[in-house]
Amino acid sequence: QRYPTDKAYFIAKEILATERTYLKDLEVITVWFRSAVIKENAMPEGLMTLLFSNIDPIYEFHRGFLKEIEQRLLLW
């Protein structure tokens, strides 16, 4: 009878691991890539705004989503 619960827990842990990886990838784009582009002045401002205006909200959403997943797994 515990098997479905254990299976669900391991699925949730896999989702957590995937979300952490995805957030790190988004961080590379939103923090490191943007910093390098700004430092090198490698892209016009309008293009940077266009590019990052869509990525920033996704990054912020997933930061909160990851925290929520972590909190729920702590209470499992």
d(CA 21, CA 23): 5
d(CA 57, CA 30): 10
- Condensed to tens digits (0 to 9), the pLDDT of residues 45-54 reads 999 999 889 8
The answer, yes or no, to whether residue 10 has pLDDT greater than 50, is yes
- Condensed to tens digits (0 to 9), the pLDDT of residues 25-43 reads 999 998 899 999 999 999 9
Give 28's DSSP letter. Answer: I
